[in-house]
Structure 1
Amino acid sequence: METIASRALAARKFAKMTQKQAEIASGVKQSSISKIERGDTSRSMSVLALARAYRADPNWLDTGDGPAPWDEVQIRPARDNAHEPPGPYRVTRTPPEGPAFAPQTPGTVPLISWELAGEWRGAESPPRPTLAERWIPCIAHHSAGTYALRVRGDSMTAPHGHLKSYPAGSIIFVDPQHTTPDDGERVIAKLDNDTSGEVTFKVYKEDAGRRWLLPLNPAHEPVRAAFTVLGTVIGKWEDED
């Protein structure tokens, strides 16, 4: 198709539009559309508006260069190609269905469930790929067996900006080889007398031989029952809103 007229007519027909419908969709007057299709005008600022209405490549409609609307989708290589594979580059609160990295990729850790965290033995029992929601990078220095958890509930959401806060949905990285935390460190712990095996995320507190677990949210009560530290939090990832 060597002329704008023939391309404009073919594109409109392919879009299954009358000239009147094209006028409504593009804002170009029907008389102008008719002139373009008759070849009474060789170039027009209306071509871009018509290309949008017809879902056609404006360069093709104007010059004939490029894919026609009925061609298969053609992806032109960029001039500066970084050779990056396609994928999501914006972290969202809803994780992708598949793993972000191949299981056990160096420098990554498994994002696991809270139930699994209660049974975790770190490097002694490396996770099967199917046990992790996905594998994500951990830039903090960490030992083998480190894992990630998605925070649930609001007990570790600080009421003001003077403390680190861990809102629901944020991700924490836990090193299970650090089981003797210092006062004030964030830990994952299991209550010794809780037969359900439930795991909790709190601030570790120690004073004069007494140990307890403190929530950052004052609406929740401290935990003063006997507990076992399963790991220390070494980092956090929080999505942008």
Structure 2
Amino acid sequence: MNKAMHETAKRLFSAAKKVRPEIEGPADLARALNQSEQTINNWSYRGNGVSKVGRLAAQKILGISATWIEDGTGDVFAGSTDHKTHTHHASITASKDGVIVKSPTRQGRNLDDSNTEPGPDIKGKYPLISWVQAGAWETIVDNFAPGDAEAWLGAPVSVSKSSYYLRVRGESMYDPAEPKSFRHGELALIDPHAPAVNGSLVVVRLDDEAEATFKQLIIEGDRKYLKALNPNWPNRIFEVNGNASICGVVKGKFVGGY
């Protein structure tokens, strides 16, 4: 006979799925909370349910009230009735001196070790938009309504008020040997007013395309090139002249997805 899931784990799973619909089972929840899958199973079927450290991690990372997980009382989501506004602080990377670096977090370690550090301060909230919107951002930003964005996410660094997020598509900007590269599905924070210099990761709109694209800017003398970070990408580097407009410079990313 299968053992029933602990009530605290039931509450955690139900709320976590509202925050991140892609969470379907223990493995998904483990990744979201930086836990091992065994730890999630222990919370579900052994002992006294979700541990105190686990409840606090769920509150910090997913915005789910630790008190509600424990006994079902109070609001489901901590500090806000709108769970969609919560961001994953421990999975944010920030830009420092032009280099994207990981925020203080202990990836791969169980939070029950109690060896955690706080994430970066959130500087403001910015829209998650489409690549078509990014290509026309200069003309639509002044009339952009809150409901036009897929979501509004916090930024771990100071950026201009016109900044936005994009969800990276494909693997052209992923290099396993390059820490500042991006996997498919990660969210890039873009500042349209940041200076684009040699080596910057930029969002660019080519004149004959409606959607923006994401590449590294290479400047050699008077010549400019766009480069895919993936070393195995076909046509990895190509030259651009007056046929490209820079829509913004990457300042940070969410490595945990949204």
TM bucket by the smaller chain? 0.5 to 0.7
1:239 and 2:234 matched: no
Alignment check: 8 A CA contact 1:185 1:233 kept: yes
Residue 159 of structure 1 deviates from its aligned partner by 3.3
Residue 190 of structure 1 deviates from its aligned partner by 1.1
1:197 and 2:214 matched: no
SS at match of 1:228: strand
1:164 and 2:180 matched: yes
SS at match of 1:173: strand
Alignment check: 8 A CA contact 1:122 1:177 kept: no
Alignment check: 8 A CA contact 2:223 2:239 kept: no
Residue 144 of structure 1 deviates from its aligned partner by 1.4
Match in the other structure for 2:112: none
Residues 80-99 of structure 1: pairs in structure 2 closer than 5 A: 84-85=79-80, 87=83, 91=88
Alignment check: 8 A CA contact 1:213 1:224 kept: yes
When the two structures are superposed, what TM-score results if normalisation uses the length of structure 1?
Answer: 0.54
1:145 and 2:175 matched: no
Match in the other structure for 2:145: 128
For this pair of structures, how many residues does the alignment match?
Answer: 150
Alignment check: 8 A CA contact 2:218 2:226 kept: yes
SS at match of 2:133: helix
- Runs of 4+ residues deviating >2 angstroms: 74-78, 82-91
**Among 205, 211, 233, which residue is 2:224 paired with?**
211
Alignment check: 8 A CA contact 2:125 2:155 kept: yes
Sort the Cα spacing of 1:230 and 1:84 in 2 relative to 1 into closer, same or farther, 3 A: closer
Sort the Cα spacing of 1:134 and 1:76 in 2 relative to 1 into closer, same or farther, 3 A: closer
Amino acid of the structure 1 residue aligned with 2:199: G
Sort the Cα spacing of 1:144 and 1:122 in 2 relative to 1 into closer, same or farther, 3 A: farther
d(CA) in 1 for partners of 2:126, 2:200: 21
Residue 112 of structure 1 deviates from its aligned partner by 0.3
Match in the other structure for 1:173: 189
Amino acid of the structure 2 residue aligned with 1:210: R
SS at match of 2:127: strand
Amino acid of the structure 1 residue aligned with 2:216: V
SS at match of 1:223: strand
d(CA) in 1 for partners of 2:2, 2:249: 60
Higher-Rg structure is 1
Alignment check: 8 A CA contact 2:126 2:152 kept: yes
Alignment check: 8 A CA contact 1:174 1:232 kept: yes
SS at match of 2:240: coil
Residue 230 of structure 1 deviates from its aligned partner by 1.2
SS at match of 1:224: strand
Sort the Cα spacing of 1:112 and 1:159 in 2 relative to 1 into closer, same or farther, 3 A: same
Alignment check: 8 A CA contact 2:189 2:250 kept: yes
Question: Structure 2: 5+ residue runs without aligned partners?
Answer: 4-44, 46-70, 89-122
d(CA) in 1 for partners of 2:215, 2:87: 29
1:182 and 2:197 matched: yes
